[in-house]
Each structure stands twice: as structure tokens, then as C-alpha cells.
Structure 1
Amino acid sequence: MNHTKIAVLSLLAAAIVPAIADESGPLYRLDFTDGSFANTGSVGGEAEQNPAYKGPTTVQIEPDDKNIWSAKFDPYPNGSRGPSLELPDSSGQLRLGGADDTLTVAAWVKWNGPDQHPDDKQPIVWKGIDDTYASWIFSLNTAGSLRFDWKKAGTGGSQRITEETISAGEWHHVAMVWKNADPGGLAFYIDGNPVKATVPYTGGGPLESGDKPIIIGANPNGHMPLNGSLRGLQLFNRALEPEEIAELAKP
């Protein structure tokens, strides 16, 4: 093979590699660096304060004493409601209505403990069907466990909760992986390590296909507020492997 052909093949290979990397990367990634709501995932755009929420508090972005930026989701003083973010161009994303659809959610969270809302969940990310029901919600409960709720087409809701909890007032990396087609396709991780759920997962997809935007934090009306802060939030339309989750959880 002559040098010209080798050079052409090298250029083609260089052009192909980024495309493969983009496909495997997150749809959404929000680091909140320098106070920005920019999504550096493949969908692009910027998150915005949830337009359906009319409360007095908003999501605030600020650095800590180590100049690490995060988004604070401060609820009302009585804990009944709180702010949230709407992800850009997300109505058609991660609907999980197909037999082979998958989802990974990963984020650093600093949880401030239980609030006074009567529902036992503080959503991190959720995808709604309408203003009342959600096709899936990844959240914390009032004990600091990870929780995943889902609604299968034509049925009521189901949920799984982790045995292990995260401590309040400290940063932890949390993640969950969902596979519609796999009877073992729900996995939870805390600080890069797999953790068990209270009830073994026995299958649950495909889901009721949600057509509402993806919301970060409280539901669209401000109920079930997240009492804490987030950074390094990533959403994938593929199931990450355990070693990939462990890599994301490195400080």
C-alpha cells in the first residue's frame, strides 16, 4: 500500500472515531460550571427554570469553597414545594416505550435530608406522561435510599428502593441503569458500587411512553421537592457497564 492510500485511510479513521464517541456519550450533561445551564451532551441547548412552576424559589448555581459548581434546589421553608429545571428538546427523549430502550442516569448529589412533603420521594430526574403521572422517576426517599418508580403501559406503577442509603450533607455519586428487555435490567449504584434493592427486580418494560419534557428536581407543579444540590448530571440512552459507572464516580 502506498503512502497516499495510508494517509487517506488515516484521515477517514480520524473522522469516524469522534462520531462513535458521540453516540456513546450522554444525551444530557450538566456540570453547571461558571453558573451555566448549558447542556454539553449530544442534544445541546440549555436547561431552563421550569416554566410551569410559579413558586418564589428558583434553582441557584454557585461554587463551593473548592470552586466546584453545583445547582441548589432549595425547597420552600415548609418543605412543601420547590423549583426544578426543564431539559432542552427533551419531550421526545428517553420515553422508554420501545422493547429495547435503555436508560442510565448518573449524578453527584449533596442531599440535605428529609423534607416535610408527604410523598416519600425527592425526584432527581423524571419523565412525565401528563401533569399527574410519570412514566419513570429516579429519586431519593426520606431515608436517603435511591428509588426508581415506573409506569408500564396499561398498568399501575411499580417501584424499587435500595437497601443502602446516602448520608446527608456530603457529596455522593448515584446512578441507576434500566433495560426494558432485560428481566434483570434495573441496577443501582452508590459511589460507583452496585447496591441491592429491597425487592428483587423481575422485569417491567416497555414503559408508558411519556411525552412531557424531562424535569430535574420537583415535579412540574413544584411538588416533591429535591432538598439538595446536583452536579455532573448525565443522562444516557444506553445502559452503562459497571466499570463505566465506577469511572464516573471517581472524585
Structure 2
Amino acid sequence: MVDAFGNDISAVGIPVTGFLGFAPAGTTLPTPAEGGSATLTLDPAYEKAGLLTEDGGFEWTLEPDGDRQKFFQEGYSIPTGLADPTLVVKLAQYDRLARKIAWGKTPDANGFITIDAGGYIGDLVAFSEEIFKSGVIRRRVADVFLIKAKLDKSERGKVNGLELTFGLRRSPRLNNEHVGEWLIPPASTVAPTLTSALPSGQAAGQTVTITGTGFYGATSVTFGGVESPLFQVNSSTQIKAALPAGAAGSAPIVVTGPAGASTPRAYTRA
């Protein structure tokens, strides 16, 4: 909920759980619609890496590389367009998948592999999901390659984590950029309620600010039973919606979400 100062405590990300999945290079990426679904089912080619260490969650470093190009005129510059992005994660499980990703080898029947410290060429697709305390879900997907694998020093009674550092490739499947990201608000379990709609007397194409509760996951806004052509959920308590075409007069507003439709709110249009 946004307060009078513009602060929204529900937008603070406090991770409580999540997972990391890997698939062979070229595996189909979730579409924007698939990735934006709370009930996403990943392609079976993605294998989940299991438990991560407590301090070993996803660390995405997405920074430009090199100094910006400056011009004679003060205040003008452009980025280099180059980047050296990475993903760092620390696995708690040291199993078949961890060894395959870290060393590029599949154990034989005896559990034996040989390891080349010089590394190997291993392109993958990485998919991460984090669920925040607020119920918000953040997902990311990227084409990656392994840069470094480092096992923790063995200490009695402590988790022996495997830290993996990946580089990110620009991908034509992601508009020639590095990462695809979804931020999915929690779906309300209660039907929306409406408390105000301002300003009144708006005409077709003009915007009305609707306040109330339970707006996350809203699927439609109607005025007098006619669907708004464009609406934006700004927070769980505010929606901005454009009036559809229609005759002047009474046009009760209804907001529909995953848990159902609101009680109509009286509105008079120009």
C-alpha cells in the first residue's frame, strides 16, 4: 500500500524461497505470458539445482562495461553498449547435476569423473525464481556459460557449498539483450472493493483513477458493462483506467480479479 510519501512497503523484496533451474543451450524459453503465470510449468528440460546455501541466493550483476563516451558539449554522453554481466549462486547440494554443471562431466557407474581445472565450454539456459515475503514472484531467464566453479573450504559441521559464476550472453531470443525478467504481484484471495473513482464526468479515452483494495492480479475493468480499452494496476489499492466508448450518463465501475468481481461503484460519464 502506497502511503502519503509514495512509499510502498509491499514493494520491498524479502526473499523467503525460490529455485534455480538449468537446461541445455537452445532450450525453449518461457513466453512472456507463460512466465507471467503464477502456475508456470517449466519445460521438462530444466533441471532444478535443489537446495542453495543460506547466503548463496541469486546474485545478478548487470552493469555496463567501460566508461561512457563523452562529448565536447558538457552534459552529453552515451554508454559503450558493452557489458560483462554475471550470475553467481552457491549450491548446497553436491550431486549429479552440480557436478555436471561445474565440471561438465557425468559420473560413471562408480561415481567417478575426471576434472580439468582449465574449465570447459558449457552453454546453458538458467532460470531463477524468487518468492518474496509479500507474495511477489520474481523470475529471470538467461543464456549463460560457466566462468568459474569453487568449492568452499571443508569445515566440520558446516555446509560445503559449491559457488558457480556464470557469464550472460546477449540472446536474440531476448531482443539481443541479456536477461528476461518477470515481476508478478500476488493474486488477491479476496474480491476487489472500490472506494472512489476520480475525477467524475470523464469522457471516452480519458483516465479515471480508481481506489480500493485487492487490485493485484486484476483482469478487467468495466464501465457500465463495457471493457476499459486500457488499464494499469499501480498498486493493490489503485488502478488507472481509460473510459471506453459509450453514451453519457450512468456507467457503474466493476473491477474483476482472480477472486471475483467487485460490487459496482456508481460513476457518471460525460
Q: Same fold (TM over 0.5)?
A: no
Higher normalized contact order (CA 8 Å, seq sep 6+, divided by chain length): 1
Larger CA Rg, structure 1 vs 2? 2
In the superposition, the TM-score normalised over structure 2's length comes to: 0.21
| Length-normalised TM-score, structure 1 | 0.22
